[in-house]
Amino acid sequence: MDRDIKEVLLTEAQIQARIAEMGEELTREYADKYPVVVGVLKGVVVFYADMVRQIKVPCEMDFMAISSYSGTNSTGKAVVKKDISADIKGRHVLILEDIYDTGNSLSFTYDYLMEKEPASIKICTLLDKPARRKPGITLKPDYVGFTIPDAFVVGYGLDFDEKYRNLPYVGILKPEAYSK
């Protein structure tokens, strides 16, 4: 796997240090709120597991899945493939995401969960790629781990064609890896 990576963008140590910082903020934000932490599968799983352990207050863990990317291009459409199991009406919700790219997925997820009448929704994304944002997307993440340049990245949960999710760092793929 490593030999398909052109450049390591974020090392394990950088990622863990930033997660610890965000954990302090989120611990303060959610003291006494017993939030439902919603992860959007599958890209978030690695980040989710590390992030949630740095939120040092009681929380409920939940997951949803929406239709995803195929290859390197977003289709722009989203469908709920797996709904959350908690009743979030009146609850505080924290959405965890791997990456905020065009903004389609998170905007869809946010609107979908809003209809369930939670007390609040905040968004925490590990990566933000503002250069790719679609015009008309106004939603802003409340917590951003790292703002990254416009490159397709893999690792730490992020895939290309379902591969590379288990790399412990975030890296940029070599162009020839796309054609494999």
Which of 5, 26, 30, 43 is close enough to bind Mg ion by CB under 5 A? 43
Which one is catalytic: 101, 111, 142, 150?
101
By CB under 5 A, residue 155 contacts Mg ion = no
Q: Which residues of this protein are in contact with ligand IMP, per CB under 6 A? A: 43, 68-69, 74, 97-106, 152-154, 158
Q: How far apart are CA 169 and CA 19, in angstroms?
A: 13
User: Taking the complex as a whole, how short is the minimal distance between the CB of residue 126 and ligand IMP, in angstroms?
Assistant: 10
**Nearest CA to 22 among 50, 58, 64?**
50
Residues 90/118, Cβ–Cβ less than 8 Å: yes
The residue (of 28 and 180) whose beta carbon lies closer to ligand IMP is: 180
Q: Out of ligand IMP, Mg ion, none, which partner does residue 153 contact, by CB within 5 to 8 A per kind?
A: ligand IMP
Location of structure tokens 């409340």: 142
Neighbours of 98 (CB within 10 A): 27
Q: Coil, helix or strand for 160?
A: strand
The residue (of 30 and 108) whose beta carbon lies closer to ligand IMP is: 108
Q: What sign for the dihedral angle of Cα 98, 100, 105, 110? A: positive
Q: At what angle do helices 12-29 and 45-52 cross, to 10 degrees?
A: 60
The residue (of 88 and 127) whose beta carbon lies closer to Mg ion is: 127
User: Taking the complex as a whole, how short is the minimal distance between the CB of residue 66 and Mg ion, in angstroms?
Assistant: 8
User: Taking the complex as a whole, how short is the minimal distance between the CB of residue 86 and ligand IMP, in angstroms?
Assistant: 21
Name residue 55's beta-bridge partners.
none
User: Taking the complex as a whole, how short is the minimal distance between the CB of residue 14 and ligand IMP, in angstroms?
Assistant: 17
The residue (of 91 and 109) whose beta carbon lies closer to Mg ion is: 109
Q: Is 101 a catalytic residue?
A: yes
Tokens for 25? Answer: 């903020």
Chain residues binding Mg ion by CB under 5 A are 43, 68
The residues that are catalytic are: 101
